[in-house]
Structure 1
Amino acid sequence: MATLGLVHNSPVLAPIFNEIAARVIPDVRILHFVDESTIKNTIAAGHLQKATMRQVIRLVGSTFDAGCDIALVTCSSIGRAVDMAAELYDQPVLRVDRPMAEKAVATGRRIGVIATLPTTLQPTADLIWRVAAEEGKDVEIVEHVCDGAFAAVMAGDGATHDRIVGEALTGAMAGMDVIVLAQASMARVVAALPPGAVAAPVLASPELGIERVRDILQARPR
């Protein structure tokens, strides 16, 4: 049985990924590795620091020390460190947002990127630019930060978070060919909106990230 190591910056992500993994890769063992310092220190600094990069690389190494066959890092804010880790280990090291960026570039030219934190928005937009350049695609990216939403959810006010994000999806993101959610936690807002409220397809990273794990594992020699 293959083992997947999931590296999170918050324990609240574990059940989200457990549910998806149970559907998409039910025969894969899941181990969770949680370190809140990676996102909290990045938010405090306003950017990804070298110390945090080293910590992410150590966390990825911990998954392989624990016997994992593949590592998936579920935070977009630390994506640069994940790319570095991928260069250092022989086993696959995946960014959860890479499949989402690829699908966005394949779906349309005018791409909306929405986040509740600037530290998550920029790495996601940068990744989409990079994927578009690799594939020779001309895209336009419209970025939007949902001011106040992150503070609300951190204070336990999920309803205010969902209202702010929902208003952005139906307002600031109008006219997009495709909308990318920079944070996995925002997906529930889309599901709660009335049918047709958002005209463009909305992409979230968890499902696409787990599907990429499935594809890699299926392609391995038996």
Structure 2
Amino acid sequence: MTTIAVIHTGPVTVQPIKEQISEQIPEARVINIIDDSLLADVRTAGHLTPEVASRINSYMSNAQAMHADIILNACSSVGEAVDYVRHFVTTPIVKIDEAMAEEASSIGRRIGVVATVSTTLEPTVRLIKKKAAELGRTIDVTERIAEGAFEALLSGDAAKHDEIVKGTISALTEQVDVVVLAQASMARLVPQLQGVRIPVLSSPQSGVAALKRALANMR
């Protein structure tokens, strides 16, 4: 049986990723490793810190010790730590947002990125620019923070979170060719955006699809 270890920085990414793995890789066994202090520490510092990167390394090393076949990093805020961890962990690691960034870069020149926290927005923008450069594409990125949405979600007001994020997306659609939702926790909004005239990309579906491709390439 294939074993997938998923590293989370909070509980909100567990369910959407679980659903995608159940749909796309139903035979897999999933180990969820959750530390909600990671994102809190990144937000306090305003950026990824060496201490957080070291803890990510520790969790991924533990996943390797558990004999996981592959590791999925579920949080864009700490995604850049994976580039460091890959020097020390031999188990293949997939970033949840890498396939989404590549898809966005291939769709259009004007890319909008929406996040509810700046610590996710900035690394997502850097990843999109990196993927665009790899594809030889010239892009313009427009960044938006959905102010107050993250705090609403933390307080348990999911409806308020959703309305703030949808309003931010709606205001951005006239300016860009594609919108990227920078956090996996925002993916559940996609079915509510059917009237939006441009593609809105979220990471769980494409991230797990990339995970499935990586597993196939290992066989």
Q: What is the TM-score normalised by the length of structure 2?
A: 0.96
Q: Kindly provide the CA deviation profile for residues 58-114 of structure 1, in whole angstroms up to 9, marking residues without a partner as x.
A: 111111111101101100001111111123222211111111101111111111100
- Give distance in 2, aligned partners of 1:87 and 1:14: 26
**Is structure 2 residue 70 aligned with structure 1 residue 70?**
yes
**CA offset digits 1:116-175 (Å, max 9, x no partner):** 001100000000011111221101111000111111111111111111111111112323
The Cα offsets for residues 190-215 of structure 1, whole Å up to 9 and x where unpaired, read as: 3224x32x111111111111111111
* Selected match of 2:217 from 207, 216, 219: 219
Give the distance between the partners of 2:44 and 2:89, measured in 1 at CA: 29
The answer for the alignment partner of 1:128 in structure 2 is: 128
Q: Distance in 2 between matches of 1:88 and 1:109?
A: 36
2:199 aligns with one of 190, 201, 213? 201
Residue aligning to 1:6: 6
Q: What does 1:1-222 correspond to in 2, within 5 Å?
A: 1-193=1-193, 195-196=194-195, 198-221=196-219
Flag structure 2 segments of 5+ consecutive residues without an equivalent.
none
* SS in structure 1 of the partner of residue 113 of structure 2: strand
Identity of aligned residues (%): 38
Larger deviation: 70-79 or 151-160? 151-160
Distance 2:180 2:117 in 1: 14
TM-score by length of 1: 0.95
> Do 1:109 and 1:140's aligned partners in 2 also have CA atoms closer than 8 Å?
yes
Structure 1 unpaired stretches of 5+: none
4+ residue runs over 4 A deviation: none
Task: Tell me the distance in 2 between the aligned counterparts of 1:192 and 1:151.
Answer: 21
Counterpart Cα distance in 1 of 2:84 and 2:202: 23
* Contact 2:5 2:72 (C-alpha < 8 Å) held by counterparts: yes
